[in-house]
Structure 1
């Protein structure tokens, strides 16, 4: 007889009580949506998330003594990133009617609309549902949007299987409460809610405790999940969806004839953390094993049930499944999943190395048709000046009725394009100032991501989306100055430590810690298979160049053949980077030299060219050995290059003396 797991009773957080009182996500949203107010109460805000919306306030518009500028972000659920043409046109229209005239591609292959007022929320959600879309479960303590590689390769069956099972798993784990249609469509269930008998049967199978009987939610129960839950389905070698960052990743395994046999299983990934809370951390998913295709839905339910019943429901900072894996270890986790599944999980199948792909530019589908990948800076679809991406996409979808796939890197693919349409589509894009030639797009921009952050995200402590264009320009200028103009690496930025743009997988990650100040992470891999590590806890954005320059020069001088920036940082380690940075003397321009006080502090420095380096053949500042040792020790403890520390101290000293002289 197979053992059924028996989880212990836990102390519950306040949010768990809110879920318990909600009557399966109905209240208090169902009542408050009709109240003549600009915002919801705290309990309603928590439940509203399950319906796909976050209450926000625009901090740019805050006025002391006045009510906050309350507005709502609405997020869509698009398994595998699919956006049918009629849904895209509806979202584009809603962005004008109710939103802030932009759409934003998320890092989970959905759309976000910002700026919706409470009085328009019901109309917006109803329009999305009637256009075969959904926002249900796009937020909240449930399974979020199921990801899959966006590439529409019709001659590679494994990609079609990934799409199929992403759709099916999304349907399997969709909340079953009637609240969504009751509130937003007045009880009228959309035709899009029709399900396949296979999925209905899979949801109802009990397994060994996977089903919660006597509830509207057979998989989730009345308290749903301890925290958000994220799943992806991909194919061997394709890491376009950051598989290691997911709670569960399934990898399609086919035979030599291209027929589906089963799935490899990864579990326990997750990136969110909290500054100064060492028990919160990013974590990569572990290899769990393999299941035959006949068992995959029961396997998914078994993993969900394990997290549902054993995940931490008291401390929400410790509620993601990654902490269960970290606390238990893989063996105990696997054994518990097997108890729910009712059979053993098979050994993991060998896989090729993972590679990041973005599928940009013009590509062949494999069936005679084409698809086009369009790079979108930080996912923001907008019209601005001569750049009119929104206009271009609207015209293309309206004229040619083409579907879209959103990517995990905030870009999109238009597909099912007849070759005869390529010149017409290209012309529309050119007329709107949209560049699709991947050889023209700066690789730093192409590989970067940023979260929205200020002014709308309530968790943001500093800028991200609005800051990163200028930061990328500065990094590119620094690379050009150092003779590294061909350099490219993955840069990701967030306005807080929650990690929405996955900075902890980047080669260079910026994580907001306070106003204009970021924690710097280094050493992730270009293919997103390795975590970065925190290099500096707090770097003011004005110190960007002085921090990065010695690291880049060290990389240029000491990297191995073909080694990426992230791989270099990981190989040599932070001790070596700090040691090099402590003794590095940066390039000095004549403009900078003009600002240096000479007289008592510095001997004359020759300036025979526009940009010179202070070398061992030229005079320099000298200090006593014991002072240098103390400076170096203090710089190391602060995680700062020695030159940066000395510059800060001298600058403070000069400013103080300048003020004294003025007095």
Structure 2
């Protein structure tokens, strides 16, 4: 967007109720402690229902049994989803064993869910086990602070096990950014770790007394791998290296995928290039971006509050100038960079440090012991012998990283024994879904439970049209809030109602283009019929190694989304 007609820097009007909640929360404390001792309900009351999100939790219930419990005049079976803060997705084996044990003994489902934000979630924590969950994380050096709500959330970093030195530098910056942008209130430590209140005045120099207008997401990206889907995020630092050493970052701002069905004031948007910055200005720039969004973001309408809307309203150049002013620098021109891949590289690869790295495919990121597929036990068994670390990827998979040659065969044998190395198609490896039913309260349609069988049907189409070795980036989300990143897929399905989806086409393989809606509110059989025709055409008409999404644009199946703020809904 140009700055020819920039809009107001601040949106005037009645503030959203979330602003009242944050202002009255006493820096995120609320009355959470009182609720913890309330045995009359399994949930949190009033403002605390939303306030606990700042502490990394969402209150959920099992929607599969909601009606049954209502008939019995029982409240829904409330339980919490807890999301860990894990910058760059790196976790030590001993930490993994602690979370594995907690999931088995203290959650309703017994599973660990790897998310596409490079962390893990527990689902089904009863209120009595919430505080022990936070204390367990603390005991192993982890926490859940600021993994949800109106703060900077878990910072992503490219999971590149090959160029280990460059990746290590990028990862260290991801950690530093995460720490620098954390809430400064001691509410989390007081409530969950029983730390005494310090007799000082709470201050939030970066986030402010009422925190951000909406959620905020940050990545550190190491080209040529766009495995973090940078265009789904508010603030992105693209690593620029010379002679294998990190010298600075290209800054891209304003990506985001969340929309609302039928609301043309909402749209998906790719991030805008801002400029290059040297390493020593990274934290200052990050704080300047966050504080500018803090001050200029829309606090009257939460559906229009993300950074992407601020950029479109005030103009990219105006926002950039304010960041330069606050950070005390002038951005240099963007340095050259290129993306060639997005998915994970599965199996064994050798890094430049002579260590081996094993990437394991975890369908939907759900680690559980299934009949004949003891996946969760397999990862725990590897953790007992592994001396390196685990890396959770932004594609819901897991890397056993830093394996010396002497340990490779042993870890390989454990993985095979626990079906962690079963062969899957390239199509399945490049398909992803959000959690959706039964636990997500926002879900309109199935996603995680829908995806495996749906991918099987797509695989059958690929086989019929002799493109078995190819793949199409496929994403399914249960609602339009963007968690499964369907609006950066070549084929995106967004839940509209039970069994009904909007079908989007035209994204590309590297994740730099928004797809366009092709069909609205259709069922699985209609989707498969459409894909049968389109994959057949792609197989016959494509040019060279043209990917499916590029074909749908070139062949005129859909028109490319070039200016999302104005043509996303056309």
User: C-alpha displacement at 1:354, in angstroms?
Assistant: 4.1
Equivalence map 1:209-608=2 (5 Å): 215-256=202-243, 258-435=244-421, 440-574=423-557
Separation in structure 2 between the aligned mates of residue 107 and residue 417 of structure 1, nearest angstrom: 24
Secondary structure in 2 aligned to 1:521? strand
Secondary structure in 1 aligned to 2:47? helix
Structure 1 consecutive aligned stretches of length 4 or more whose deviation exceeds 6 Å: none
Separation in structure 2 between the aligned mates of residue 463 and residue 332 of structure 1, nearest angstrom: 41
- Gaps of at least 5 residues in structure 2 are 1-7, 561-569
Distance 1:392 1:8, change over 3 A: closer
Distance 1:48 1:106, change over 3 A: same
Match of 2:88 in 1: 80
TM-superposition CA deviations, 1:527-546 (whole Å, max 9, x none): 11111111111111232322
Distance 1:223 1:428, change over 3 A: same
Match of 2:132 in 1: 123
| TM-score for both structures, normalised by structure 2 | 0.92
Matched, 1:23 2:10: no
TM-superposition CA deviations, 1:361-418 (whole Å, max 9, x none): 1111222221110000000011101111111111111123441110000001111211
Matched, 1:137 2:152: no
| Aligned counterpart in structure 1 of residue 116 of structure 2, from 102, 107, 120 | 107
Separation in structure 1 between the aligned mates of residue 234 and residue 160 of structure 2, nearest angstrom: 22
Q: Is the 8 A contact 2:54 2:149 kept in 1?
A: yes
Match of 1:655 in 2: none
Separation in structure 1 between the aligned mates of residue 388 and residue 509 of structure 2, nearest angstrom: 32
User: C-alpha displacement at 1:573, in angstroms?
Assistant: 2.2
Matched, 1:164 2:202: no
Q: Which piece of structure 1 moves more, 451-460 or 258-267? A: 258-267
Matched, 1:173 2:160: no
Distance 1:514 1:566, change over 3 A: same
Separation in structure 1 between the aligned mates of residue 175 and residue 13 of structure 2, nearest angstrom: 33
Q: Is the 8 A contact 1:159 1:234 kept in 2?
A: no
TM-superposition CA deviations, 1:438-465 (whole Å, max 9, x none): xx32111100110010000000011000
Separation in structure 2 between the aligned mates of residue 575 and residue 293 of structure 1, nearest angstrom: 41
User: C-alpha displacement at 1:421, in angstroms?
Assistant: 1.1
Separation in structure 2 between the aligned mates of residue 575 and residue 76 of structure 1, nearest angstrom: 39
Q: Is the 8 A contact 1:225 1:308 kept in 2?
A: yes
Distance 1:162 1:218, change over 3 A: same
Separation in structure 2 between the aligned mates of residue 354 and residue 338 of structure 1, nearest angstrom: 31
User: C-alpha displacement at 1:214, in angstroms?
Assistant: 6.8
Q: Is the 8 A contact 1:84 1:402 kept in 2?
A: yes
Q: Is the 8 A contact 1:496 1:513 kept in 2?
A: yes
Q: Is the 8 A contact 2:164 2:353 kept in 1?
A: no
Q: Is the 8 A contact 1:354 1:529 kept in 2?
A: no
Q: Is the 8 A contact 1:396 1:402 kept in 2?
A: no
Determine which structure has greater relative contact order: mean sequence separation of CA pairs < 8 Å that are 6+ residues apart, divided by chain length: 2
Aligned residues: 546
Q: Is the 8 A contact 1:518 1:539 kept in 2?
A: yes
Equivalence map 1:610-625=2 (5 Å): none
Match of 2:4 in 1: none
CA RMSD between the two structures = 2.0
- Gaps of at least 5 residues in structure 1 are 190-212, 578-638, 640-663
User: C-alpha displacement at 1:550, in angstroms?
Assistant: 1.6
Separation in structure 2 between the aligned mates of residue 500 and residue 409 of structure 1, nearest angstrom: 12
| TM-score for both structures, normalised by structure 1 | 0.80
Separation in structure 1 between the aligned mates of residue 210 and residue 148 of structure 2, nearest angstrom: 15
Distance 1:390 1:336, change over 3 A: same
TM-superposition CA deviations, 1:127-151 (whole Å, max 9, x none): 0111111100111110000010122
User: C-alpha displacement at 1:486, in angstroms?
Assistant: 3.0
Secondary structure in 1 aligned to 2:156? coil
User: C-alpha displacement at 1:575, in angstroms?
Assistant: 6.0
User: C-alpha displacement at 1:271, in angstroms?
Assistant: 0.5
Matched, 1:55 2:59: yes
TM-superposition CA deviations, 1:534-586 (whole Å, max 9, x none): 11111112323222222122222221111111110122223699xxxxxxxxx
Match of 1:149 in 2: 158
Secondary structure in 1 aligned to 2:169? helix
Q: Which of these two proteins has the greater Rg computed from alpha carbons?
A: 1
Match of 2:99 in 1: 91
